[in-house]
Structure 1
Amino acid sequence: MGLVSQEPALFATTIKENILFGKEDAIMEEVVAAAKASNAQNFICQLPQGYDTQVGKRGVQMLGAQKQRIAIASAIIKAPQILFLDEATNALDFELERVVQEALDKAVVGRTTIITAHCFSTIHNADIIVVVQNG
């Protein structure tokens, strides 16, 4: 099972190592493919140290949308049968939500996905929507 939460906790290591937490024995081509699928490749390549950039404790060196895309890449590289998205775009502004949502739309293809969300834009492509009201 893969998980992408509202506030992903990255480890105080490199972007590459954080992605590899999804699949430790992955080769670099798989890391890059996961980054591309999560819309992270462009910003990673613009960093001076690229995939070797340190993210800092809990990802403090990264912006919110960057952390989300690294977490999505880690979930994608794992290739889980079930993907759980827990308010994965809730803390983002409209433009960043769109970028992350595009990555999530790619990540859910071919797998069972469970999404918790307050915003319709996050679940607009769902096959089944369950609404919880009053607790």
Structure 2
Amino acid sequence: GAHAAIVESLSNGGFKLCQFTGSTAASERHDSIRDFQSSMVANASQPAQAKVFVVTVKTGSVGITLTAATRCYLFEPSFDPATELQATGRIRRLGQTKGVMIKRFVFRDSLDECIYKLHNAVRAGQIKLVDGVIPPE
């Protein structure tokens, strides 16, 4: 899926990669988060690598702190805009000392675009979601 393709592309680009998926053991998740949150240190022979944390919106939307991040790129939309808000809140938390940029990628004429329009309608109060779904009328 998209997660694997992003991980492969970033790995080939020379980034220091931290990541987990829904199937990653809790101890490995904690190790990835701790590694990402630790300071980037350069030694005399090599400059510090930029760190990137890759996680799906659903898997990374609760229970983690990623305040070492200053940018969040959303590649796959969640049907419920509250889930995306929770996910971006992982870097916009108490302890964040830098400016944060959130970037959402939406492909024209795709399901992503339909979901983006749904999010706008929910924010405008035109549609109400109950437990992440549109209730029957």
Q: Same fold (TM over 0.5)?
A: no
TM-score of the pair, normalised by structure 2: 0.31
Query: Which is helix-richer, 1 or 2?
Result: 1
Larger relative contact order (Cα-Cα within 8 Å, sequence gap ≥ 6): 1
Q: Which has the larger radius of gyration?
A: 2
